[in-house]
């Protein structure tokens, strides 16, 4: 699973709009286009800004205090979070994307296509999510005994054979059987646009932080921690 080309923008207009209800724009103490080294090491601003953070700002104490108060007050009060946007290229297995797709409101994704591109390159183990692969053995009886790795090899071999036959014959039946057989661990890249409100829901204690899938509780949460002011806004409950 990979996260690439992360970009964040919208802090300036989100902070301005946050003060509209009480018309207290003059109390804003945040600074925009603040000059700091563009170093991406996962630290929270203002120490550094990730290299991809394109809407540079330094949140003031008053602004940050108000933002956190609105977050704690509930979704109807923290509308500013929906105006801070993140764009990122995520390469993840299909079984992860099925769960991500439950977050439909406020998200947009444009994916690579199995319809058009599945048959264009060789199918190997590198095409699948194997980072936490576990070699499961079934030893309850001799007939059922097997090694998961052997099943993987057979599946990948068959998929590649079907791909080659489709390329050779242009018979769509081979392609359709390939689609049917393709494991859910197939890696697909999507360019995703999402906002801080979506991320707050995904990163909350009751959602993905303790999920069965390591792709959620480790990779996704680790990436979310690299976003600007993640600890102060997205993981606020852990630093109160």
Residues 16-42 pLDDT 10s: 888 887 677 777 777 776 444 444 444
Task: Report how far residue 48's alpha carbon sits from residue 37's, in angstroms, rounded to the nearest whole number.
Answer: 6
Task: Supply the pLDDT for residue 112.
Answer: 73
**Same-domain check for residues 90 and 171:** no
Per the structure block, which two tokens stand in for 87?
Answer: 């764009």
**Same-domain check for residues 15 and 76:** yes
Greater confidence (38 vs 238) lies with: 238
Task: Count how many domains the chain has.
Answer: 2
pLDDT in tens, 50-85: 544 545 678 888 889 989 999 998 888 899 999 999
**Same-domain check for residues 192 and 151:** no
Q: How many CB atoms lie within 10 A of CB 231?
A: 14
Q: pTM score, two decimals?
A: 0.80
Its domain, for residue 73, covers: 2-110+188-239
Q: Burial, 220: exposed, middle or buried (Cβ in 10 Å; 0-12, 13-18, 19+)?
A: buried
**Same-domain check for residues 105 and 16:** yes
Task: Report how far residue 135's alpha carbon sits from residue 26's, in angstroms, rounded to the nearest whole number.
Answer: 61
**Same-domain check for residues 150 and 59:** no
Task: Report how far residue 158's alpha carbon sits from residue 164's, in angstroms, rounded to the nearest whole number.
Answer: 10
**Same-domain check for residues 34 and 60:** yes
Mean per-residue pLDDT over the chain, rounded: 80
**Same-domain check for residues 54 and 128:** no
């Amino acid at each position: 699973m990979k996260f690439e080309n992360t970009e964040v923008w919208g802090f300036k207009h989100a902070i301005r709009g946050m003060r509209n209800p009480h018309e207290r724009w003059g109390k804003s103490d945040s600074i925009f286009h603040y000059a700091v080294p563009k170093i991406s090491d996962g630290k929270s601003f203002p120490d550094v800004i990730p290299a991809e953070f394109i809407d540079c700002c330094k949140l003031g104490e008053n602004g940050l205090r108000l933002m956190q108060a609105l977050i704690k007050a509930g979704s109807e009060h923290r509308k500013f979070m929906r105006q801070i946007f993140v764009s990122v290229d995520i390469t993840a297995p299909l079984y992860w994307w099925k769960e991500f797709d439950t977050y439909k409101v406020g998200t947009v994704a444009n994916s690579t296509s199995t319809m058009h591109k599945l048959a264009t390159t060789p199918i190997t183990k590198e095409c699948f999510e194997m980072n936490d692969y576990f070699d499961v053995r079934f030893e309850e009886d001799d007939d059922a005994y097997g090694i998961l790795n052997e099943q993987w090899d057979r599946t990948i071999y068959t998929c590649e054979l079907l791909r080659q036959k489709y390329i050779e014959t242009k018979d769509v039946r081979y392609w359709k059987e390939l689609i049917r057989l393709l494991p859910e661990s197939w890696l697909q890249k999507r360019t995703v646009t999402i906002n801080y409100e979506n991320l707050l829901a995904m990163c909350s204690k009751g959602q993905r932080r303790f999920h069965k899938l390591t792709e959620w509780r480790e990779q996704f949460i680790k990436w979310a921690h690299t976003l600007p002011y993640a600890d102060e806004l997205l993981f606020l409950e852990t630093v109160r």
